[in-house]
Amino acid sequence: MREIGTVKLIQPQLINQIKPNKKNQDKVKVGPLLVSILVPLLLLLPVQINVKPPMILAERFWHGGGWVEIFALEIYSVVLTYLILYKEKIKKMRLRYWLFFSVIFFLQFFLGILVNEKFLMSGKLHLPVPALIVAGPIYRGGGPLFMLILLLSTIAILGPAWCSHLCYIGAWDGFASSRKKGRPRPFSRRFAITFRYLMLVSVFIVAFVMNRLGVKALTATLFAAMFGLVELALMYLISWRLGYMFHCTTFCPIGSLVTLLSKFYPARIRIDHSTCTLCNACTVSCRYDALRAEDIKKGKAGWNCTLCGDCLDSCHADSIYLSFFGSKKNAWPYYIATVIGVHTVFLALARL
């Protein structure tokens, strides 16, 4: 161990010898657990009571089933929040519940096609390609806006967490990038920023041109399906091999929109230089290319941060924290409890 100025620099080979944080042994706080209960309750109750035909799946199959489903989801939400805050690392649990949501989402999709249309939101088939959230309404000149409203509402509540906790396709990219051990090998940041916003503009333009030219629905559907297949190919060819989420950080137009709009969200990942040991363990944990050496030097996560929280567990010096309106006191416990609450609502309502 040696010193640089007033900051101690820990050699990489010594990282594993440092005693890890014991955040998960903190005294259990009731507040975040209450948030994990109240968020799904306040969002699902109006849907159960007022929306007809019912949107909660169990209510579609038997009268009163929606109440049973809400009760089960409430238990799920509080237990998952407790495990993340006091038992397990966020990185370990995040990918699990994120993949779980994706499995449920696509299971309902295939059941809606093969078994019963009640498993679909409207009874009509829509391709599960995230770009269609914005491209679909432009191509149609209107039409169903449920997924777009859900996206914008999520950004307002959680900022960029859509891209690290909730996107039904992003979970696959997260799984692919996590397969490679060690430090991620991202492309240049200038290239990623330029390419991703070109993709966003291109999707808007192509959808608008298709609308003006009167392109038939079958042709537009085939085009969207090919776009989805390209997304899957990129996850394997790049994310899997380089260990960072190329699809979500560079290719996906919805990811670009989320990142852009989230600049107005008041939460940020910060780094306390007074305690940071410059071990760079956080750069290994971040699969979104948001914690390069220059970001650590600036004391904050980079432009592409999705508030996933993986870096919080990776920091042996407890130097990384979530800042909400400039304050870090209890910001992370309440934020992740809200994320889990919204994730629970997605389990109930997010379907095609």
Reported as a single tens digit per residue, the pLDDT across 126-145 is 788 999 999 999 998 887 78
Report residue 123's pLDDT band, with 50, 70 and 90 as the boundaries: low
Alpha-carbon distance of 60 to 293, in angstroms, equals 52
Report the share of the chain in percent with pLDDT over 90.
Answer: 77
pLDDT of residue 144: 75
217-234 helix and 189-213 helix, angle to the nearest 10 degrees: 170
pLDDT of residue 125: 66
Q: Residue 4: how many CA atoms within 13 Å on its side-chain side?
A: 10
Report residue 124's pLDDT band, with 50, 70 and 90 as the boundaries: low
Report residue 84's pLDDT band, with 50, 70 and 90 as the boundaries: very high
* Residue 207 in this model has a pLDDT that exceeds 70: yes
Cβ–Cβ < 8 Å for 175, 99: yes
Our measurement of the distance from residue 331's CA atom to the centroid of its chain's CA atoms, rounded to an integer in Å, reads: 18
Segment 297-304 shows an average pLDDT of 92
pLDDT in tens, 25-37: 457 889 999 999 9
pLDDT of residue 145: 83
pLDDT of residue 8: 41
pLDDT of residue 244: 92
Q: Which of 150, 170, 144, 343 is nearest to 255 (CA)?
A: 170
* Residue 23 in this model has a pLDDT that exceeds 60: no
Of 199-203, 246-250, 276-280, the one with minimum mean pLDDT is 276-280
pLDDT in tens, 142-163: 877 878 888 999 999 999 999 9
Alpha-carbon distance of 281 to 315, in angstroms, equals 7
Provide the mean pLDDT of the chain: 89
Report residue 252's pLDDT band, with 50, 70 and 90 as the boundaries: very high
Which pTM does this prediction carry?
A: 0.89
Segment 324-335 shows an average pLDDT of 94
pLDDT of residue 14: 39
Q: Which of 331, 269, 255 is nearest to 305 (CA)?
A: 269
The alpha helices in 163-303, defined as continuous H runs, are 170-178, 189-213, 217-234, 240-242, 246, 253-261, 281-285, 293-298
Report residue 182's pLDDT band, with 50, 70 and 90 as the boundaries: confident
Report residue 9's pLDDT band, with 50, 70 and 90 as the boundaries: very low
Of 13-27, 215-229, 291-305, the one with minimum mean pLDDT is 13-27
